[in-house]
A and B are shown apart, each in its own frame.
Chain A
């Protein structure tokens, strides 16, 4: 199995630009998660999907952030417009049904830098 695939691995953009992060979950996993890692707050859950339906988006920081899952093998996290404080590493993870812990597999992450 290829694992969770994320693209791009690195993204550098200027403030005000739109940024789109992409994720392909592990085949057969019903749950998909988007996390953000910062030094101050560690790993924060932004949103998660079950069977392509958003279940909990309470972690999405503000309206500039949006996520979609048009099918079982693809999800996007979009930031529009981007701001310097959005600079972080964004992880996508997928899993089979709960319990989460030992079945949640992370991708390698996208390092976003907003200048």
Chain B
């Protein structure tokens, strides 16, 4: 049973435009959400997180939005740059317990 789902395996965006990556979850007890970024032949690295008490968190070009009623979060990257090309994983946890990851979305930024 996949509690965290990323329904788009891949996404292609033009450089300079906005990239929007989506993630849905089923467990209403999740209270902490994260995005990780992964380059080929490397392990995932933490990108940005959000607590369930917030609906938005920004860090430079990256913004995460949380819609608790829809059990949906999204990552916005503005403007997109070639170095943003990577696989992005959404993850969630309940009360600082173990992280549950999605399947990942491969983002490609085209020049």
**Which residues in A have some Cβ–Cβ distance to B below 8 Å?**
4, 33, 35, 39-45, 48, 56, 91, 93, 98-102, 104-109
Which residues of chain B are within 8 angstroms of A105 by Cβ–Cβ distance?
A: 43
Is there contact, CB below 8 Å, between A43 and B104? yes
Is there contact, CB below 8 Å, between A108 and B93? no
Which residues of chain B are within 8 angstroms of A91 by Cβ–Cβ distance?
A: 43-44
Is there contact, CB below 8 Å, between B43 and A43? no
Which residues of chain A are within 8 angstroms of B42 by Cβ–Cβ distance?
A: 108-109
Q: Which single residue of chain A is at the shortest CB-CB distance from B99?
A: A100
Q: Which single residue of chain A is at the shortest CB-CB distance from B41?
A: A108
Known: A99-B32, A101-B93. A107 touches B104 (CB 8 A): no
Which residues of chain A are within 8 angstroms of B86 by Cβ–Cβ distance?
A: none
Which residues of chain B are within 8 angstroms of A56 by Cβ–Cβ distance?
A: 98
Is there contact, CB below 8 Å, between A40 and B103? yes
- Chain B interface size band reads 20 to 34
- Partner of A101 from B41, B49, B104 at Cβ < 8 Å: B49
Is there contact, CB below 8 Å, between B44 and A43? yes
- Partner of B104 from A35, A42, A102, A104 at Cβ < 8 Å: A42
Known: A101-B34, A102-B49. A108 touches B99 (CB 8 A): no
Q: Which single residue of chain A is at the shortest CB-CB distance from B6?
A: A42
Known: A42-B101, A91-B44, A106-B43. A98 touches B96 (CB 8 A): yes
Interface flag for B25 (CB, 8 Å): no
